[in-house]
Amino acid sequence: MKKGVLYGIGAYVLWGFFPIYWKVLHQVSAFQVIGHRIGWSFIVLIFFIVITRQWQEFRSVASNAKTIGIYAIAGVLLSINWLIYVWGVNADFIVETSLGYFINPLLSVLLGVLFLRERLRSAQWIPVVLAAIGVIYLTVVYGRLPWIALSLAFSFGFYGLVKKLAPLGSLYGLTLETAIVFPIALVYLIFVEINGAGAFLHNGMRIDLFLAGSGIVTTIPLLMFASAAKQIPLTMVGILQYIAPTLQFLIGVFIYKEPFDQAHLIGFGIVWIALIVFWVENFVSNRTPVEPIPELGEG
């Protein structure tokens, strides 16, 4: 149990520091960053599967047409989530991106009700309504709909919904997802290179290392999380998951000095209260909580 908790904390802490990593690549377009992230992640995952002698098993479970179809949808949703996140971070919206992952668990619950016919206890509707009030309040404060946060929450929420119906574990699932979208990413990166707009090998070794390293920083926390998820209860996973958006929020406010005044605090506070109510209700009810996340971390 203790080892599993440490793996879980490690995974979420790494995800929490993602904004600092992507900020290094602020001069590279988000599309190119995601193209490289998909490409290098696919390479790292395939390499890991081969050296751990899981290639034959992976091929056998990933060759089914229905499975490929499910993970094609998952791959597209994940790519959209990654793209919006990286763009949001480098456009100085780290605080708003963190909001997306704060409200994601509550949105996932709502999606379960709408699409999987799951039932909520009466008290569970309270945090859902509170979260909606928080978003409406922040819409007034921002003077616009917080579309970055909502886009991240919805893309990751639907990704979790698809993964709930998917047959593979996190390692094989992410490998298949990246394998499906890899050709699109590769064609795009070749296109921008031919047109003289490619960033890789043209902006110094530092940028090249961070682009290539995007595959490693994607897979390491994933593998740590996969190990943790097998060793600790889902309730513990649900608590640990808030490490990442909390760190991202703090990084946005205190390191990158993004605006966060009393009005923003009220809106975020409503969402945080909703999350507290949600988990306290689950604890008191002494039942297994609705799974708040798919087998993958933020950003």
Predicted pLDDT at 1: 58
Greatest alpha-carbon pair distance for the chain in Å reads: 59
Q: Which residues of 113-143 are buried (b: 16+ CB within 10 A; e: fewer)?
A: eeeeeeebeeebebbbebbbebbebbeebee
CA distances from 173 to 50, 150, 197, 283 (A): 15, 25, 32, 30
Q: In angstroms, what is the C-alpha Rg of the chain?
A: 19
- What pTM value is reported for the model? 0.89
Rounded to whole angstroms, how far apart are CA atoms 99 and 95?
7
> Domain boundaries in the chain?
2-285
Listed as ranges, residues in the chain with pLDDT below 50 are 289-293, 295
pLDDT tens digits along 31-54? 999 999 999 999 999 999 999 999
Crossing angle for the helix pair 94-115 and 243-250, to the nearest 10 degrees? 150
Q: Which residues of 62-89 are buried (b: 16+ CB within 10 A; e: fewer)?
A: beeeebeebbebbbbbbbbbbbbbbbbb
pLDDT tens digits along 59-108? 999 989 999 999 999 999 999 999 999 999 999 999 999 999 999 888 88
Predicted pLDDT at 112: 84
135 by DSSP, 3-state: which?
A: helix
Predicted pLDDT at 234: 60
Whether 235 and 289 have beta carbons less than 8 Å apart is answered as yes
